Homo-oligomer: A and B are copies of this chain.
Amino acid sequence: MENGIANLLGALSLAVMDRIEQGAREVVGRGGETPAALIVIGYGQGMTNDKLRRILGLSHSGTVRLVDRLVSDRLVERRAGKDGREVALHLTPSGAASRNELLASRISAVTSLLDVLSSAERKQLATLIHELLARQDTSEMDRFTICRMCDDRVCTNCPLPTNKGQHAR
């Protein structure tokens, strides 16, 4: 039964995301892509509406309304971007605090599932997942999408490649 592994990973992924999303909703009081948006905006201070849209995989208007919600929650500010068309999204102090809670909640949720494994088993699993991710054929944008909830405080050297579509040479 060669599909057994796919089914197992599917079930585990569902369990993991259920727990992450539940925690995220408790922290920010909102669901959908809103928690991910808060994390993505926090990666740097140059985020624009349009980059965010592509990372989250939402429509343009959906992204504008999402940012509206973050602004009305006093978690994000719209500032002038370099380009006169762009809006530069910045976290407020409150937004940065919520983002940290969000990241901690996510790590905690996953850890609670992982800690039934021994240290050696966790290491083995980490190696396998690292390889699995490292061998995917992902563009830079794909990587941002997959990593839209990632904790940049613990994820040094992301395994995901960023060279999809580039010439092999």
Contact = CB atoms under 8 A, between A and B. Distances in A.
A70 to B, nearest CB: 20
Given A7-B150, A126-B5, A145-B18, A12 B114 contact: no
A135 B4 CA distance: 18
Chain A residues touching B, majority SS? helix
A132 B117 contact: yes
Interface stretch (A45-53, A74-82, A90-98, A105-113): A105-113
A136 B154 contact: no
A121 interface: yes
Contact of A107 (B7, B14, B135, B151): B7
A30 interface: no
A11 interface: yes
Interface string A49-75: 000000001000000000000000000
Interface in A122-169: 122-126, 128-133, 135-136, 145-151, 154-156, 159
B125 A128 contact: yes
- Most chain B beta-carbon neighbours within 10 Å: one of A15, A150, A159: A15
Question: Which 6 pairs, one residue from A and one from B, show the smallest C-beta to C-beta distance?
Answer: A116-B135, A13-B16, A13-B13, A6-B110, A5-B126, A3-B154
